[in-house]
């Protein structure tokens, strides 16, 4: 008995594990074994990622789905399904994350706390959010308050968000499911900024969760204009003259894109991971004038700063609003 080929069916759905139907079948893929190989590999990450949509509106949803893969193996001698172990079903939680090159192939990312940094920065009087993976967290403690984490199994709560109270000076201590092992301690840094307006930027981080980062210092707003120019004929053929209050060159197709140049204020060296992941994120929003607006990191180069080289660490980042200033949506 030898492996001839394999077929996988990929079901993507919301709800609880295994609650899929025929309508949830998104892909059927078949491959034959290469004669020099003993196995067959399927890469499905980019296929299933298309079924994660991010519609963040300052509401912190659980951007996850279930993926069920039904694998069928065929015998090269009989062309039939293997009598034993021929059909196997596996279930996975789908998150829009990514691994670094150093993490090697198919890295297992965090299964508990879903941010890299050990520090968060909050303006005085402002509450915060910290994403966690419900399957891997039993409880979290903030000061004298302990909160148990429950996992119902539904995809809409696999990623949950710890509510950090405004003005707390306590660390957020996150425990494993046994409620005794500490998996992460996050220091809450309160920032008093009486001069500049603080802006919250939210992005999808490497774990597929929404992470907040505040910019506390100087923000400069500017916009760049695009337009087209055409020449028109102003001659009045009746009088064989033209009016001098009508231009020979006329502007059309005018629009503009607004950019923001923002400064973090002084942060610790180990908080740089949030900036790095923000640069790499495809989905970024800013809380601006009471609305959640999509932005694109315009800065394309990043120089990592250290306390040794730079003493005090401040990052300047440029963002571009992901829409035109003049509404031309039709």
pLDDT digits (tens, 9 = 90+) for 35-79: 888 899 999 999 999 999 999 999 999 999 999 999 999 988 788
What does the mean pLDDT of the chain come to?
93
Residue 88 is assigned to a structural domain of this protein = yes
Local structure of 276: helix, strand or coil: helix
The β-bridge relationship of strands 119-123 and 182-191 is parallel
Report the candidate in 214, 49, 208, 215 with the shortest Cα–Cα distance to residue 115. Answer: 208
Same domain, yes or no: 271 and 200:
yes
Q: Are residues 264 and 312 in the same domain?
A: yes
- Dihedral angle at the C-alpha atoms of 149, 152, 154, 156, nearest 10 degrees? -30
Q: Are residues 175 and 283 in the same domain?
A: yes
CA 201/CA 205 separation, integer angstroms: 12
As for how many domains the chain has, the answer is: 2
Residue where a domain stops, chosen among 79, 94, 109 = 94
The sheet with strand 87-94 has its strands ordered as 25-32, 3-13, 65-75, 87-94
Same domain assignment for residues 139 and 217: yes
Same domain? For 9 and 76 the reply is: yes
Question: In terms of residue numbers, what domain contains 41?
Answer: 3-94
DSSP-derived secondary structure letter, 266: S
Which of 11-25, 141-155, 164-178, 309-323 has the weakest average pLDDT? 309-323
Q: Is the pLDDT assigned to residue 7 strictly greater than 80?
A: yes
Same domain assignment for residues 200 and 277:
yes
Give the mean model confidence (pLDDT) for residues 93-121.
92
pTM of the full predicted structure? 0.91
Same domain, 156 and 270: yes
**pLDDT-derived band at 134, boundaries 50, 70, 90:** very high
10 falls within a domain: yes
286 occurs within a structural domain:
yes
Distance CA 205, CA 284 (A): 9
Q: Residues 159, 265: one domain?
A: yes
178 & 280 share domain:
yes
- Asked if residue 1 has pLDDT above 80, the reply is no
Same domain, 34 and 78: yes
Domain match, 182 and 82 both: no
Q: What is the pLDDT of residues 11-42, one digit of tens each?
A: 999 999 999 999 999 999 999 999 888 899 99
Question: Are residues 38 and 139 both part of a single domain?
Answer: no
Q: Six-digit token pair at 38?
A: 């003993």
The span from the CA of 175 to the CA of 183, in Å, is 5
């Amino acid at each position: 008995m030898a492996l001839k080929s394999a077929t996988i069916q990929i079901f993507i759905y919301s709800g609880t594990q295994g609650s899929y139907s025929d309508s949830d079948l998104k892909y059927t893929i078949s491959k034959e074994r290469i004669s020099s190989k003993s196995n067959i590999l399927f890469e499905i990450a980019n296929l299933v990622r298309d079924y994660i949509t991010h519609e963040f509106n300052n509401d912190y949803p659980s951007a996850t789905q279930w993926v069920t893969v039904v694998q069928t193996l065929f015998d090269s001698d009989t062309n039939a399904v293997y009598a034993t172990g021929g059909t196997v079903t596996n279930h996975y939680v789908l998150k829009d994350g990514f691994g670094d090159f150093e993490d090697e192939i198919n890295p297992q990312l965090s299964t508990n706390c879903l941010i890299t940094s050990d520090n968060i920065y909050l303006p005085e009087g402002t509450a915060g959010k910290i994403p966690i993976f419900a399957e891997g967290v039993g409880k979290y403690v903030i000061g004298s308050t302990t909160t148990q984490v429950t996992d119902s199994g539904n995809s809409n709560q696999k990623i949950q968000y710890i509510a950090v109270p405004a003005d707390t000076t306590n660390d957020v201590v996150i425990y494993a499911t046994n409620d005794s092992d500490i998996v992460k301690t996050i220091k809450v840094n309160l920032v008093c900024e009486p001069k500049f307006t603080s802006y919250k930027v939210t992005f999808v981080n490497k774990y597929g969760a929404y992470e907040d980062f505040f910019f506390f210092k100087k923000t400069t707003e500017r916009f760049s204009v695009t337009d087209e120019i055409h020449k028109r004929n102003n001659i009045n053929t009746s009088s064989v003259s033209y009016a001098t209050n009508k231009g020979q060159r006329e502007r059309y197709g005018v629009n503009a894109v607004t950019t923001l140049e923002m400064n973090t204020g002084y942060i610790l060296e180990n908080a740089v991971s949030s900036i790095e992941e923000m640069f790499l994120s495809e989905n970024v929003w800013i809380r601006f004038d009471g609305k959640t607006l999509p932005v694109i990191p315009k800065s394309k180069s990043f120089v990592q700063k250290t306390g040794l080289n730079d003493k005090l660490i401040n990052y300047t980042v440029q963002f571009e609003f992901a829409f035109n200033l003049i509404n031309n949506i039709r």
